[in-house]
Amino acid sequence: MSFLCQLDSSAFTACSSPATYSGLSQGSHTFSVKARDAAGNQSAAASFTWTVDTTVPPPTITSTPANPTNQTSATFSFTDTEAGVSFLCQLDGGAFSACPSPQSYSGLSLGNHTFSVKAQDAAGNQSGAASFTWTVM
């Protein structure tokens, strides 16, 4: 018994198990395999399709407090170009934690503050942080 493997639309070629492919481009891929007996008879192909997602989704802060402001509360709105992402927020260098848009903070002290937001997609890819710094006077 031997095997024939195919990745995407390439030709079937002899392979062994496990078959490994590296350097795959972003997007959808299909792996197919057939069994071949000593007489050359081939089985129907069994296939598996998956998506390679290595894109880090960039968040955009769309609404911020005035800078400077005398308000001790602040609300931020943000969005992302990739559907279905979740967000992680940080205030003044604290830990990032899950947050909705809009995200509000109250009881802010006088001085400089920095809000940061990251996006995370369904594959677990996290973006770099988008940030906004403002002053409460």
The domain locations on the chain are 2-52, 59-136
Tokens of 10: 């390439």
Tokens of 53: 């997602």
Q: What is the pLDDT of residue 23?
A: 94
- 59-136 has CATH 2.60.40.10 classification: yes
Reported as a single tens digit per residue, the pLDDT across 2-38 is: 999 999 999 999 999 999 999 999 999 999 999 999 9
CA distances from 2 to 6, 12, 21, 30 (A): 14, 12, 19, 20
What is the phi/psi pair of residue 15, to 5°? -150, 170
Q: Over the chain (137 residues), what is each successive 10-residue block's mean pLDDT?
A: 96 96 95 96 97 87 98 98 93 98 98 98 92 98
- Give the pTM: 0.72
Q: Which of 77, 76, 78, 80 is nearest to 58 (CA)?
A: 80
